[in-house]
């Protein structure tokens, strides 16, 4: 099947005074039209940088980006000029950010901010843009969109603001939306509502979605396939069900078992020992070996390759769980 | 903008002004037993009886013949009629007339300085932030170190010494007949411009650097905000993002500092005016102080603080037009 987005060997580094931060180290990923993939990992594993890199939104300097391939919708993003990228951003590929309060301009009404999307990418007049914006607000379930159009971001609740961002991202019906922690800043109940809106719009419009999150319940709710990222590298890739039922990488297993279950009577949180290594001082060999229960001498010395293990799964581990 | 908010701000300003007037009335009276004695010190060739008569006349003339509280009420009434009092200078000129005579000359300096500072400062600052780490950015940073470390009068003295006395580019010392001979003719205006050049240059440099640095910092901090990435992710060009999203937000702190400097516009600068012999408000105040001209000093104080309060009020109201979040009187939801 034709891929909508294909990224091979994406690398992003940030040269700093204390050394080079390798935020993303050779990420491969692909997205088919209309599917939802999730990129999962702890804070600082390079998820957000990856998403910004795919829209070529990393400001350089300081960031330096490199990739063997980055094609989107038949276009080679690596060769497009900034001017050509401007026509893709927002129109074919758009983004939903984590904290809707800071992601919206505080001194501009949400209506105006939505209008910008239509005015930039269609030939609508101001009036047409306004009714399109009100309609977009209506679609994401903002009550009284005609009045809300004139509200400033601080006058809306967190859930409403997030809906506005979703409306903005879907405004031009893009082929791909990258949602960076879209519900992290919200209450659990609001989270579910917002995810439902996101899912509904995604299915209706046949939009492909890259969901970036650390929240596995969100992943289970939304994604078709999952990439697990650790320290700037993909460590495991699998279809949703396989990943949740048979995780092969010890890190994935750790992430899954750190979600508390009601049936658990031990009253203790299972956690992955130790912290994420500093991006300035990554361990030798497999980056996860310092925190891995199955670590051997080989893991300390050699970084495992990301290998295809069949069943649309990829794994980067010397000692996969549950046998080879 | 909520009408209630505006009304509250105006009431608040009036209240503060009332406190200023009250303090301004009572502070000069602290520790003064008989003001008449201060105004009219005893001369050697007077008898005690004569001196008593003179003091009594002085008290009556300046209204010290009633209790302090009655004086206060009278003072308030007088202010309500827009009368700032009578100076003790020869000829008993009205304080308001003396101020009105000096204000335009002070404004010539301060307004030109501020305009130069704001226009060049904001342009330079925005450009420095745009090319962060470029030569202009570094120049602004070093310049601000210099202008904060060196007192303004020192720069002024340097300019006076070199551009005025050594190289004779501009008059180092203002023409003493500048004010009296001014008649709105082209020659007179050119003469004013030439005489004002040095004091303006001397003060404008600090002003430009100040605004440039404020603008630079503000633009940079706004550029790092999340909503700027949102705007760029919409496919807006860098210029659109700069004009529509960055500058509008970056202007908020600039408006505050602009408002603060507007309130200083008519105060003039005692030091700069002395260095260049400029006949503005600063000199008027200094002379009032040196000659113990209390009514004049008090009148100037009231006038300046009233203007400052008004400027603050206008700034506050403008701010709430620019930033919708302060509409509710500072409370954010």
DSSP A160-201: HHHHHHHHHHHTT--SEEEEESTTTTS-HHHHHHHHHHHHHH
Q: Are B236 and A105 a contacting pair at CB < 8 A?
A: no
- For residue B237, give the nearest of A52, A86, A107 by CB distance: A86
Residues of A in contact with B226 (CB under 8 A): 97, 99, 102-103
Tell me which chain B residue has its CA closest to the CA of residue A152.
Answer: B324
pLDDT of residue A226: 93
pLDDT of residue A38: 92
Instruction: Tell me what the mean pLDDT of segment B203-207 comes to.
Output: 89
Least confident of A192-196, B179-183, B304-308: B179-183
Sorted by sequence, the CB contacts under 8 Å of residue B12 that are 6+ apart come out as none
Q: Does B110 share its domain with B144? A: yes
Give residue-wise pLDDT tens across range A75-114. 888 888 888 888 889 889 999 888 777 889 998 999 999 9
Cα-flanking dihedrals φ and ψ of residue B225, to 5°?
-75, 155
Q: Does B235 share its domain with B321? A: yes
**Interior/surface letters A209-247, b for 16+ CB within 10 angstroms, e for the rest:** bbbbbbbbebbebbbbbbbbbbbbbbbbbbebeebeeeb
Contact of B159 with B198, CB cutoff 8 Å: yes
Residues of B in contact with A154 (CB under 8 A): 324-325, 332-333
Rounded Cα gap, residues A210 and A226, in angstroms: 10
A173 CA: distance to closest CA in chain B (Å): 12
pLDDT band at B333 (very low <50, low <70, confident <90, very high): very low
Q: Are B234 and A117 a contacting pair at CB < 8 A?
A: yes
- For residue A155, give the nearest of B234, B237, B333 by CB distance: B333
Instruction: Tell me what the mean pLDDT of segment B187-201 comes to.
Output: 85
Q: Does B249 share its domain with B146? A: yes
Tell me, what's the ipTM?
0.84
Q: Does B205 share its domain with B289? A: yes
Supply the DSSP string of B76-129, one letter for each residue: HHHHHTT---B--STT--BHHHHHHHHHHHHHHHHHHHHHHHHHHHHHHHHHHH
Q: In which order are the strands placed within the sheet that holds A307-308?
A: A93-96, A176-180, A208-213, A36-40, A225-230, A233-239, A314-315, A307-308
B255 lies in some domain: yes
Q: Does B68 share its domain with B176? A: no
Q: Does B60 share its domain with B184? A: no
Q: Over 60: is that where the pLDDT of B331 sits? A: no
Q: Are B230 and A89 a contacting pair at CB < 8 A?
A: no
Q: Is the dihedral of CA A85, A90, A93, A96 positive or negative?
A: positive
Give residue-wise pLDDT tens across range A197-219. 888 899 988 999 999 988 888 89
Q: Are A120 and B236 a contacting pair at CB < 8 A?
A: yes
Q: Does B103 share its domain with B72? A: no
Name residue, tokens 């990554």. A282
Q: Identify from B131, B133, B227 which residue to disrupt to test chain A contact, counting A C-beta atoms within 10 A and taking the largest count.
A: B227
Report yes or no: B255 at the A interface, CB cutoff 8 Å. Answer: no
Of B35, B55, B80, which residue is a domain's last? B80
Give residue-wise pLDDT tens across range B19-74. 999 999 888 888 777 777 777 777 777 788 888 888 888 888 777 778 888 889 98
Residues of B in contact with A104 (CB under 8 A): 227, 230
Report yes or no: B230 at the A interface, CB cutoff 8 Å. Answer: yes
pLDDT averaged over chain A? 86
| pLDDT, mean of each 10-residue run, chain A (324 residues) | 84 86 87 92 83 84 85 88 88 85 89 91 89 91 90 89 90 90 81 87 90 88 90 90 88 82 65 76 84 84 86 87 66
Instruction: Tell me what the mean pLDDT of segment B282-294 comes to.
Output: 87
Q: Are B226 and A103 a contacting pair at CB < 8 A?
A: yes
Residues of B in contact with A115 (CB under 8 A): none
Which pair of tokens denotes residue B244? 């529509």
Tell me which chain A residue has its CA closest to the CA of residue B131.
Answer: A61
Q: Which helix (H) or strand (E) holds B52?
A: helix B48-62
Q: Over 70: is that where the pLDDT of B329 sits? A: no
Cα-flanking dihedrals φ and ψ of residue B180, to 5°?
-70, -30
Report yes or no: B234 at the A interface, CB cutoff 8 Å. Answer: yes
B91 lies in some domain: no
Q: Does B140 share its domain with B27? A: no
Of B50, B80, B110, which residue is a domain's last? B80
A153 CA: distance to closest CA in chain B (Å): 9
Can the peptide bond before residue B78 be classed as cis, meaning omega within 30 degrees of 0? no
Tell me the percentage of chain B whose pLDDT exceeds 90.
14
B89 lies in some domain: no
Q: Does B8 share its domain with B153? A: no
B8 CA: distance to closest CA in chain A (Å): 22
- Distances from the Cα of B3 to the Cαs of B292, B309, B314, B327, in angstroms? 45, 19, 14, 10
Residues of B in contact with A105 (CB under 8 A): 227, 230-231, 245, 248-249
pLDDT of residue A262: 66
Name residue, tokens 């199955």. A294
pLDDT of residue A323: 60
Which of A179, A169, A161 lies closest to A110, judged by CA?
A: A161
Instruction: Tell me what the mean pLDDT of segment B304-332 comes to.
Output: 76
Residues of A in contact with B232 (CB under 8 A): 57, 89
Which pair of tokens denotes residue B137? 């950015």
| Interface residues of chain A, partner chain B, Cβ below 8 Å | 52, 55, 57, 85-91, 94-95, 97, 99, 102-108, 116-117, 120-121, 152, 154-155, 165, 168
B90 lies in some domain: no
- For residue A95, give the nearest of B233, B236, B323 by CB distance: B233
**Interior/surface letters A106-122, b for 16+ CB within 10 angstroms, e for the rest:** bbbbbbbbbbbbbbbbe
Tell me the percentage of chain B whose pLDDT exceeds 70.
97
Burial zone of A267 (CB within 10 Å; 0-12 exposed, 13-18 middle, 19+ buried): exposed
Sorted by sequence, the CB contacts under 8 Å of residue A211 that are 6+ apart come out as A36, A37, A38, A39, A179, A182, A218, A219, A222, A223
B333 lies in some domain: no
Q: Does B131 share its domain with B9? A: no
B125 lies in some domain: yes
pLDDT band at B330 (very low <50, low <70, confident <90, very high): very low
Tell me which chain B residue has its CA closest to the CA of residue A103.
Answer: B227
pLDDT band at B12 (very low <50, low <70, confident <90, very high): very high
Report yes or no: B224 at the A interface, CB cutoff 8 Å. Answer: no
pTM of the complete model beyond 0.95: no
B332 lies in some domain: no
pLDDT of residue B118: 92
Q: Are A154 and B226 a contacting pair at CB < 8 A?
A: no
Q: Are B249 and A99 a contacting pair at CB < 8 A?
A: no
Rounded Cα gap, residues B308 and B303, in angstroms: 9
Give residue-wise pLDDT tens across range A276-290. 777 778 888 888 888
Q: Are A102 and B227 a contacting pair at CB < 8 A?
A: yes
Contact of B236 with B244, CB cutoff 8 Å: yes
Rounded Cα gap, residues A273 and B38, in angstroms: 83
Q: Are B324 and A154 a contacting pair at CB < 8 A?
A: yes
pLDDT of residue A270: 67
Total domains in chain B come to 2
Q: Are A107 and B236 a contacting pair at CB < 8 A?
A: no
Report yes or no: B1 at the A interface, CB cutoff 8 Å. Answer: no
Sorted by sequence, the CB contacts under 8 Å of residue A71 that are 6+ apart come out as A3, A5, A6, A77
Q: Are A57 and B233 a contacting pair at CB < 8 A?
A: yes
Q: Is the dihedral of CA B212, B217, B223, B227 positive or negative?
A: negative
Q: Are B232 and A105 a contacting pair at CB < 8 A?
A: no
Q: Are A107 and B230 a contacting pair at CB < 8 A?
A: no
A233 CA: distance to closest CA in chain B (Å): 24
Q: Could you tell me the residue range of the domain that residue B58 belongs to?
A: 3-80
Of B80, B107, B140, which residue is a domain's last? B80
Q: Does B225 share its domain with B256? A: yes
3-class SS string, A249-302? CHHHHHHHHCCCCCCCCCCCCCCCCCCCCCCCCCCCCCCCHHHCCCCCHHHHHC
pLDDT of residue A268: 64
Phi-psi sector, A75: left (phi>0), alpha (psi -120 to 50), beta: beta
B331 lies in some domain: no
Can the peptide bond before residue A62 be classed as cis, meaning omega within 30 degrees of 0? yes
Q: Does B111 share its domain with B220? A: yes
Burial zone of B246 (CB within 10 Å; 0-12 exposed, 13-18 middle, 19+ buried): buried
Give residue-wise pLDDT tens across range B155-175. 888 888 888 888 888 887 777
Give residue-wise pLDDT tens across range A53-69. 888 888 777 888 888 98
Residues of B in contact with A97 (CB under 8 A): 226, 229-230
Q: Are B322 and A90 a contacting pair at CB < 8 A?
A: no
CATH of the domain at B320: 1.10.3720.10
Residue B324 DSSP SS3: helix
Q: Are B230 and A55 a contacting pair at CB < 8 A?
A: no
Report yes or no: B132 at the A interface, CB cutoff 8 Å. Answer: no
């Amino acid at each position: 099947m034709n891929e909508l987005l294909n990224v091979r060997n994406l690398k992003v580094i940030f040269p700093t005074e204390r050394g080079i931060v390798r935020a993303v180290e050779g990420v491969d990923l692909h997205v088919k039209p209309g599917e939802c993939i999730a990129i999962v990992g702890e804070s600082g594993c390079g998820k957000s940088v990856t998403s910004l890199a795919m829209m070529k939104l990393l400001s350089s300097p300081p960031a330096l980006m490199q990739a063997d391939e980055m094609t989107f919708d038949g276009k080679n993003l690596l060769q497009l000029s900034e001017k050509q990228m401007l026509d893709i951003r927002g129109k074919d590929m758009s983004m939903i950010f984590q904290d809707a309060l800071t992601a919206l301009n505080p001194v501009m009404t949400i209506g105006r901010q939505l209008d910008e999307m239509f005015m930039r990418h269609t030939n609508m007049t101001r009036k047409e843009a306004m009714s399109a914006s009100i309609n977009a607000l209506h679609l994401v379930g903002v009550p009284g969109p005609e009045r809300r159009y004139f509200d400033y971001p601080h006058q809306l609740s967190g859930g409403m603001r997030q809906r506005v961002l979703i409306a903005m991202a879907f405004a031009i019906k893009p082929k791909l939306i990258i949602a960076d922690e879209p519900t992290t800043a919200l209450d659990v109940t609001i989270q579910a509502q917002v995810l439902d809106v996101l899912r509904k719009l995604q299915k209706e419009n046949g939009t492909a979605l890259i969901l970036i999150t650390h929240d596995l319940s969100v992943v289970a709710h939304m994604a078709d396939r999952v990439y697990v990222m650790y320290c700037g590298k993909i460590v495991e890739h699998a279809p949703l069900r396989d990943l949740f039922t048979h995780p092969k990488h010890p890190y994935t297993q750790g992430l899954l078992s750190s979600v508390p279950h009601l049936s658990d009577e031990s009253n203790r949180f299972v956690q992955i020992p130790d912290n994420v290594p500093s991006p300035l001082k990554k361990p030798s060999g497999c980056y996860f070996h310092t925190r891995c229960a199955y670590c051997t001498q080989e893991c300390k010395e050699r970084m495992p390759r990301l290998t295809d293990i069949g069943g649309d799964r990829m794994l980067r581990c010397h000692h996969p769980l549950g046998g080879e | 903008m909520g009408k209630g908010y505006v009304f509250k701000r105006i009431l608040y300003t009036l209240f503060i002004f009332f406190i200023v007037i009250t303090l301004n009335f009572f502070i000069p009276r602290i520790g003064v037993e008989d003001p008449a004695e201060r105004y009219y010190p005893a001369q050697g060739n007077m008898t005690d009886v004569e001196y008593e008569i003179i003091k009594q006349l002085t008290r009556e003339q300046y209204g010290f013949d009633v209790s302090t509280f009655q004086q206060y009420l009278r003072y308030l009434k007088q202010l309500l009629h827009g009368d700032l009092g009578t100076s003790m200078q020869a000829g008993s000129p009205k304080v308001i007339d003396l101020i009105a005579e000096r204000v335009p000359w002070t404004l010539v300096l301060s307004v030109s300085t501020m305009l130069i500072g704001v226009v060049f400062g904001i342009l330079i600052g925005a450009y420095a932030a745009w090319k962060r780490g470029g030569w202009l950015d570094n120049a602004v940073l070093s310049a601000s170190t210099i202008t904060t470390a060196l007192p303004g009068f020192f720069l002024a003295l340097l300019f006076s010494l070199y551009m005025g006395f050594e190289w004779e580019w501009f008059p180092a010392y203002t023409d003493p007949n500048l004010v009296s001979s001014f008649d709105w003719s082209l020659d007179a205006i050119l003469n004013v411009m030439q005489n004002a050049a040095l004091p303006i240059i001397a003060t404008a440099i600090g002003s430009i650097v100040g605004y440039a640095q404020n603008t630079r910092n503000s633009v940079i901090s706004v550029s790092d905000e999340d909503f700027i990435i949102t705007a760029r992710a919409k496919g807006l060009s860098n210029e659109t993002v700069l004009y529509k999203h960055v500058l509008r937000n970056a202007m908020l702190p600039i408006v505050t500092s602009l408002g603060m400097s507007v309130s200083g516009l008519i105060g003039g600068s005692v030091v700069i005016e002395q260095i260049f012999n400029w006949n503005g408000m600063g000199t008027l105040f200094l002379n009032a102080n040196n000659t113990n001209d209390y009514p004049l000093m008090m009148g100037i104080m009231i006038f300046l603080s009233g203007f400052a309060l008004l400027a603050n009020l206008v700034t506050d109201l403008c701010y709430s037009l620019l930033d919708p979040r302060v509409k509710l009187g500072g409370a954010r939801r």
